[in-house]
A = this chain, B = another copy of it.
Amino acid sequence: MIQGRVTGRIWSSKHIETLPGGALLEVALEGGGSLIALDPLGCAEGESVLVTQGSVAAGYFTGIKAPIDALIIGSIDET
């Protein structure tokens, strides 16, 4: 998995039907670069998150073949 920080959100009104509900968050990655991850946890901008990638991200969704290759699986505790 990779660590990142939520920097924003995108919206897509025109999308394929199998896109699951949930926020599409922009995540700046540790080490550089960024991606868009689906967020089932309700994370806020600035939150540090753990992202999983690839087919295991899609495996989170049941009863649908979700076209998701990046999923926020946790918020990282910061102390």
> Which residues of chain A have a CB within 8 Å of any CB of chain B?
1-3, 10-16, 18-19, 24, 30-31, 33-37, 40-41, 50, 52-60, 65-71, 73-77
Contacts and interface: CB of A to CB of B under 8 A. Distances in A.
Nearest to A40: B16
Contacts of A55: 54-56
A57 B52 CA distance: 11
B53 A69 contact: yes
B73 A36 contact: no
Nearest to A70: B1
Contacts of A12: 50, 73-77
Nearest to A15: B74
B50 A56 contact: no
